[in-house]
Chain A
Amino acid sequence: SYEVTQPPSVSVSPGQTATISCSGDKLGDKFTSWYQQKPGQSPVLVIYQDKKRPSGIPERFSGSNSGNTATLTISGTQAMDEADYYCQAWDSNTVVFGGGTRLTVL
């Protein structure tokens, strides 16, 4: 079955750019979505179809997807962006989530 892989953790200083990767075989041929989850809360969609932002998501969140890697980029990272981030793809009528990346803003 299809799998996508994320780094367990990423650290960034406030105001800097955070990048979180998601890797999978020919992932660039599939749509990737990204979710933010803060402790005790439900996940929130922040990027869908590789690079689209849902209404209400700040412009500092952006996405890209090419080759075997999709990337979530957070520009001008703020303390409120500290959370777990999950990528998600679709393959052969099944949905797969990455293992999640904990973003620490320090």
Chain B
Amino acid sequence: QLQLQESGPGLVKPSETLSLTCTVSGGSISSSSYYWGWIRQPPGKGLEWLGYIYYSGTSSYTPSLKSRVTISQDTSKNHFSLKLSSVTAADTAVYYCARYYGNAFDMWGQGTMVTVSS
């Protein structure tokens, strides 16, 4: 049974870089046909797609954050990562990792809350 688990600091200072990792168990991120993505949800607001990475290593990002977002993968550790640079309070949110397959996010992590504050 596939499981995804986000990890990383829960508090990040303004202007610094937010870094999160999603560890996948019960399946390989190197499997073809799957994308591995990041979605966030500010408190009391809706879902926002940040980007995803294909098993081959190619990635795509939401246009509004493209200059600040990087998604990478480490197949040896079976995990993929998110970096969001120059954060502000507006980046405070629950960050989810998820698997994208068949035009949908079919498996989600439990989410991790990240607060941007000095």
| Chains A and B belong together in one complex | yes
Which residues of A are at the interface with B, using a C-beta cutoff of 8 A?
A: 1, 31, 33, 35, 37, 42-45, 48-49, 54, 84, 86, 88, 90, 93-100
Chain A residues, Cβ within 8 Å of B103: 31, 33, 48-49, 90
Complex: A31 Cα to B103 Cα, angstroms: 7
Contact yes or no, B105 A100, CB < 8 A: no
Query: Residues of B contacting A37 with CB < 8 Å?
Result: 47
- Structural contact, A96 and B106, CB atoms closer than 8 A: no
Q: A42 touches which one: B37, B60, B110 (CB < 8 A)?
A: B110
Number of interface residues of B (CB under 8 A): 22
Q: Mark B103-114, 1 if CB is under 8 A from A, else 0.
A: 111101111000
Q: Mark B19-42, 1 if CB is under 8 A from A, else 0.
A: 000000000000000000101000
**Cβ contact within 8 Å between B47 and A54:** no
Docked-complex contact B96 and A97, CB < 8 angstroms? no
Name which residue of chain B comes closest to A93, CB basis: B60
Q: In the complex, A42 Cα to B94 Cα: how many Å?
A: 10
B100 interfacial by beta-carbon distance below 8 Å: yes
B56 at the A interface (CB under 8 A): no
Shortest Cβ distance from residue A101 to the other chain B in the assembled complex, whole angstroms: 10
